[in-house]
Amino acid sequence: MGVRRGALESLVMTNPPARRPDAAFWRGKRVLLTGHTGFKGAWLALWLQRLGAQVTGVALAPPTQPNLFELLGLGARMDSRQQDIRDAAALARVVEQARPEVVLHLAAQALVRESYREPVATWATNVMGTVHLLEALRQHPAARVAVLVTTDKVYRNHEWLHPYREEDELGGHDPYSASKAASELAIASYRDAFLNAQGLALASARAGNVIGGGDWAAERLLPDAVRAWQAGQALEIRRPQATRPWQHVLEPLAGYLCLAESLWAQPALAGAWNFGPYPHERATVRQVIELARGAWGGGAVSYAPNADGLHEAGWLALETSKAQAGLDLQPRWALAQAVQRTMRWYRALRDGADARTLCTIDIEAWEESA
């Protein structure tokens, strides 16, 4: 992978600077952000605050201790509502009161293995929670743009070697993947039946696996690694050959923001969009862990493939040429750099650094790169 990555970096350096979110667009915009207490949501709330948006957040209480939402002090800088999106009436009241111009929907049950343990809650949150938001937007038509985040796992996975395109078949084996695929159908239905005519440009965003500092969720690769290595324990890996489109969390978040900007100007762009690394940057779990171990400075690993028998996709990659051509978005950080920055973030926090400062450093570095 090193040779190809080096060739790619040389190519990127010869291109014009890549697009980044436009502060002039976001300054003063009323934004409804669901899931703002989660890992990706907290990063996005911080970025929106830096851009000058007026953010209303809707989410459950932070799901872990510690958590990035509290470490960043986000609640004091936004209208933060602790609200379950499965409560349709309460969610509609928030939408009516906030009168958002832009909606960014990240709230979800986002863990594959948790979906096996709690399938009903997963379906209720990911499908009906999304429907409740769509219905609230239909009943209270203030928004002009909505970007609803699903996942790269919405595609019916045939273990093909080629990356999945936005036009490929939807489906899913596990409850998480299937519920997210079902939410895509709900999004398309509301767009075609109601929201296009209402003047709301509605898009879905399908992002690859994200890494970055500030994630403490259980059963996620790098948070599990940090927990194990800080405790002086061996990290246990179930499926070392599982292949995913890994990317730093700032890559898809920039995609969501730039997509919203483009939809505001060009509503015809409404539809499904993939956000991920270049297809050749996909990597196995083992490759990511070896990069992480090098960046951390050591750490024991125990590889025990397929230990529990639960089905998870073995091979997954995204075709992202639509976002590159249609939104002028190019991936900025190659996998090695994304992993290095992630492990540096956790190591610095362990050594006493401030989480908000660490996130700000990463955002500024991302904005200035390429």
Helix H or strand E segment including 30? strand 30-34
Name the DSSP class of 194: I
Nearest of 75, 80, 70, 77 to residue 354 by alpha carbon = 70
Nearest of 81, 85, 73 to residue 98 by alpha carbon = 81
pLDDT tens digits, 293-310: 999 999 999 987 655 556
Q: Which domains does the chain have, with CATH numbers?
A: 2-308+316-368 (3.40.50.720)
- Mean pLDDT in order along the chain per 10 residues (370 residues): 32 54 98 98 98 98 96 97 97 98 97 93 98 97 97 89 92 95 98 98 96 95 97 93 94 98 98 94 94 96 71 79 95 96 98 98 93
Nearest of 221, 355, 231 to residue 291 by alpha carbon = 221
Residue 184 makes CB contacts below 8 A (sequence gap 6+) with: 150, 154, 170, 204, 272
Q: Is 39 exposed, middle or buried (0-12, 13-18, 19+ CB in 10 A)?
A: buried
pLDDT of residue 299: 95
Q: How far apart are CA 134 and CA 138, in angstroms?
A: 6
Beta sheet of 272-275, edge-to-edge order = 79-82, 54-59, 30-34, 102-105, 145-149, 201-207, 272-275
The structure's pTM equals: 0.93
